[in-house]
Structure 1
């Protein structure tokens, strides 16, 4: 039995309300982070400019909050969850490995690295698993909308 099959069986044994709550929490976290980025757009621009992504800092400063808001909303309601998780993955990989990890030794008390890792793991999880049974996508599939 492959690792993916064992993972799928493990997920199938999970109670559907737990998957629903995890997905809603992930969507809410992304929306909250998008709102935070919009509220502190100057700080986001400074962080991106100080990283390896200096050339696209203006572009990324505007795309990242929008991607978090839009992706978070669609993940929250359970529509195109896999797609929006895949869209979010490069952003969170960049946040963990290129933004937070180099500064983790100096900024441990903020918890930003832990938050980014949790969101990254949840994005990978839902990119594999999908929306789950309590989602708009599953409702539409069952009721042929």
Structure 2
């Protein structure tokens, strides 16, 4: 717990609007991916094709879309950012691995890799000063 407080103090001392805009853009991107996966189940099943022989692969289908949808919203407003990003990291690692297990799609690989790197950054950095977390902490 002390390490997280230390990270929060560092992040709040070094916060900048471009980083907040990057957090919001990441949240909106993940939210839109969640909406896209929810609205087009055939595309989601096609993406998850290489995993269809694994028992319990339907659990992955039911985890990815809501995690992107809810996690993207939380990241956008800056509420529970580290928890929301932690839920995204296994999904993004899976998205990178699916490119190597199934048909290679370079655009999806690059998108998933960049998104994973940004998520890892915000897992360490936190939500920053211009977020709901910071606002709620200041209200205490």
CA-based RMSD of the aligned residues comes to 2.5
Moved more, 132-141 or 44-53: 44-53
How many aligned positions are there? 133
TM-score normalised by the chain length of structure 2 = 0.83
Alpha-carbon distance change, 133 to 17 in structure 1, aligned in 2, over 3 angstroms: same
CA distance in 2, matches of 1:23, 1:41: 27
Match of 1:99 in 2: 98
Structure 1: gaps of 5 or more residues: 1-7
| Higher relative helix content | 2
Match of 2:120 in 1: 124
Measure how far apart 1:61 and its partner are: 1.1
User: What is the DSSP-based 3-state SS (H/G/I as helix, E as strand, rest coil) of the residue aligned with 1:27?
Assistant: helix
What TM-score do the two structures reach when normalised by structure 1? Answer: 0.80
2:31–2:73: 8 Å Cα contact kept in structure 1? yes
Which residue does the alignment assign to 1:5? none
Return the offset for 1:56: 2.2
Paired with 1:118 and 1:73, the residues of 2 have a C-alpha distance of 19
Secondary structure in 2 matching 1:44: helix
